[in-house]
Amino acid sequence: MLGRKRTDFMCGIAGILQLDGRRPGREDIEALNQRQIHRGPDGEGVYLDGPIGLGHRRLAIIDPAGGQQPMCNETNEVWLVANGEIYNFRALRAELERMGHRFRSQSDCEVIVHGYEAWGDRVVERLRGMFAFALWDGPRRRLLLARDRLGIKPLCYSSTDNRLAFASELQALRVLPDFDARVDTEALDRYLHLQYIPAPLSIYRGARKLPPAHTLVLTADGAAPVLRRYWQLEWRPDESLSESEWVERLDAALGDAVRSHLVSDVPFGAFLSGGVDSSAVTAYMRETLGPGLDTFTIGFDQAGFDERGPARETAEQLGSRHHESVVDLNILDLLPRLVRHYGEPFADSSALCTWRVCETAREHVTMVLSGDGGDELFAGYPYFPKLVERFPVLTGPRRVRRLAGDLLRRIGLLNPVPTLAESWYGRSPFFDDALRRRLWWPDYHDRIGTTRTWHEAQFTRVDRLDTLSQCQSVDLQTYLPFDNLTKVDIASMAHGLEVRVPLLDHALIDTVTRIPARYRMAKVDAAGGAGGDIWCGKYVLKRAAQRFYSWEFLQRRKVGFSVPLSAWFSGPFKNELQVRLLDPAAGLGDWFDPAEIKRLVSEHGQSADHGHRLWSLLFLAQWFSQY
């Protein structure tokens, strides 16, 4: 392979910081570890010292004797448990060794320990990779929790007056004897609207998720915790470069990002859907590693949902060893496993596909690269053109008229028109405000307003940007980490598979955020020429990928990881679905009107398509019954 390192630290981490002078019990740390054994089935580590207890479950890919965690510095005063990969660890190690630091292993995560000694909390700003870690500074009795910039790796925590506990997955925190497992109904309303629960909320009142690009610092003396954002996505378009110059720069940045993610000495594979993102990533892999890659795709024996054909065509062009599998599983049988691993309601039905492709890949390789993040970073979603056309960037007199109209609407002299944020909010295909108002019992109707307020705040943070950049920013900071990346992390770690996402390398992101919006999404003609009337998302990415593929190949319609829920719930699962959702033991009646649930089931396949809504209620009912 391209490079060699001695150990990976894909795993599960956990720990407890006591704030009342007591020592955490080893049995408590081991219980947290045990609930995450699937993330690291090859070994366990525990460290106890005064008020701190750290736990680690390890997936030992290489060198089982090296890089054991928890790990420490030379003086045994700074201790670390970490999950993820640091891709620039060699450069950081060389720099730290020149400063006099002595390393005990070849592990990439040891640079975090010595980096903290050298740069303090700002070590996170030096790391290129995906990570979540907990670092204990013994002399200062200080705990630092950190999560990577885009939220590729998870970290959640539970705080009381007496202690703070953390883990990679929510399900682990449930073992705590004082854990508050009551349902957070604000989080539940966001789940209904979004199909996921965004950080910092979780389904539990007693647990929170550390947001991406944040650190959380606590001290054993009980001082107020300090939450800090250390990185912010910023669009800084550089208009001085031409299209061809940006294509050249992007090509170099893509090659560098993929190469940085290929540092290992174990077999690599790639998820290959036949779409632009995974095809581009796989082509750059092939260019770096040569022939013999393993590629993986899944499909359905149902028209409109099967992408095996395009993926097979891509694999043939690249000369990869291609592996296909058909999703023929009984979703009702798999549902309990999904609920157990995701730990809270999570209704993205493509998790079924992700689960199966991870299961298939793990039979052949230990690590894969994926194209996740391409739609968000390069403007690939089909709703982007519609919103850009509806909310064009105005200049000169047109902008003045728009501002004057906004003022008159605020004082009631003109009828209001939807804003970009309101239009975005109203496009939810799941439970919109009206449906949630019908579903919730009246006592919970105020939760609907909290979801709308949260959504508006996402746009308020980026309202000075052009329309496309606003939409991309919101997706990159909400849907990407709390849906797409959560889905991949949980499904892959459930199978002991490491998934790397080079399109979310922050060095690559620094390049893409300087590309003007008109190159990220452009209007072209049928041949890809400028000046046409066809919106082309991922325009500059496709231009870069033309080194490997034809324009016609790159412009194919992508199926995506879509699941035929509508057909399933209209056919073989409909009777079972109604029984499960309306069973009093399912618990949905605690919050929702059963008559409304029954209406959704009866309407589905007749006068409406409620497939995704019914899946979200089914997942919720299963979660309630298990937890």
Do the domain assignments include residue 235? no
Is 350 annotated in a binding site? The answer is: no
Give the end of a domain, one of 428, 461, 494.
Answer: 461
The predicted pLDDT at position 105 comes to 87
- Quote the pLDDT of residue 421: 93
The pLDDT score that the predictor gives to residue 64 is 46
pLDDT class for 1, splitting at 50, 70, 90? very low
- 168: CATH: 3.60.20.10
Is the residue at 234 inside a domain? no
Separation of alpha carbons 521 and 503, rounded Å: 17
Model pLDDT for residues 174-209, shown as the tens digit of each residue: 999 999 999 999 999 999 999 999 999 999 999 999
Residues 335 and 270 in one domain: yes
Q: Could you tell me what percent of the chain has a pLDDT over 70?
A: 90
Decide if 466 is inside a domain: no
Q: What is the pLDDT of residue 6?
A: 40
Say if residue 117 is in the same domain as residue 40: yes
Report the pLDDT value the prediction gives residue 246, as an integer from 0 to 100: 98
The two three-digit tokens of residue 181, written as one number? 């497992």
Please indicate, yes or no, if residue 319 is contained in any of the structural domains: yes
In this prediction, residue 417 has a pLDDT band, given cuts at 50, 70 and 90, of: low
* 542 located within any domain: yes
Choice among 64-73, 153-162, 198-207, 462-471 with the minimum mean pLDDT: 64-73
3-state secondary structure of 165: strand
Summarize the chain as % helix, strand, coil (round to 5).
45, 20, 40
507 and 487 in a common domain: yes
Residue 420, SS3? Answer: helix
Residue 559 lies in a domain: no
Residue 279 among known ligand-binding residues: no
What is the per-residue pLDDT across 459-493, written as a single tens digit (0 to 9) for each? 999 988 999 999 999 999 999 999 999 999 999 99
| 387 and 376 within one domain | no
Full residue range of the structural domain in which residue 518 is found: 243-380+477-553
- Residue 625 marked ligand-binding: no
Based on the domain organization, do 308 and 442 belong to the same domain? Answer: no
Residue 365: pLDDT above 60?
yes
pLDDT band at 4 (very low <50, low <70, confident <90, very high): very low
221 and 284 both lie in a single domain = no
How many distinct structural domains can be found in the chain? 4
More confident residue, 40 or 465: 465
- Give the pLDDT score at 409: 52
Residues with Cβ within 8 Å of 119's Cβ and at least 6 positions away in sequence, in order, are 125, 126
Asked if 19 and 144 sit in the same domain, the reply is yes
End position of a domain, from candidates 229, 261, 287? 229
Q: Which of 434, 461, 488 finishes a domain?
A: 461
* Confidence check: pLDDT of 594 > 50: yes
Over 90: is that where the pLDDT of 304 sits? no
Q: For 350-360, give one letter per residue: b (16+ CB within 10 A) or e.
A: ebbbbbbbbbb
**Residues taking part in catalysis:** 11
User: Is 370 labelled as part of a ligand binding site?
Assistant: yes
Task: Give the pLDDT mean for 582-605.
Answer: 93
pLDDT for 303 beyond 80: no
468 in any annotated domain:
no
129 in Cβ contact with 91 (< 8 Å): no
Burial of 401 (0-12, 13-18, 19+ CB in 10 A): exposed
Task: Read off the pLDDT of each residue in 336-351 and give the average, rounded to a whole number.
Answer: 94
Same domain, 222 and 310: no
Locate 501 and state its tokens.
């996402």
Question: Do 107 and 155 fall into the same domain?
Answer: yes
- Report the C-alpha gap between 209 and 165 in whole angstroms: 12
What pLDDT score was predicted for residue 7?
45
Q: Count CA atoms closer than 13 A to 618's CA, side-chain side.
A: 27
Banded model confidence at residue 575, pLDDT cuts 50, 70, 90:
confident
Question: Is residue 110 domain-shared with residue 203, that is, in the same domain?
Answer: yes
Average pLDDT, the chain: 90
The Cα–Cα gap between 282 and 67 comes to 30
The reply to whether 531 falls in a domain is yes
CA distance 477 to 229: 13
Strands 71-72 and 43-49: unpaired
- How many angstroms separate the Cα of 106 from the Cα of each of 120, 162, 188, 496? 22, 37, 44, 22
Strand-pair category, 52-58 with 11-18? antiparallel
Q: Is 36 helix (H, G, I), strand (E, B) or coil?
A: coil
Give yes or no for residue 58 having a pLDDT over 90: no
Whether residues 492 and 604 fall in one domain: no
Per-residue pLDDT at 401 exceeds 80: no
Q: How confident is the model at residue 130 (pLDDT cuts 50, 70, 90)?
A: very high
Contact call for residues 297 and 272 (beta carbons, < 8 A): yes
Examine the domain organization and report whether 258 and 403 are in the same domain.
Answer: no
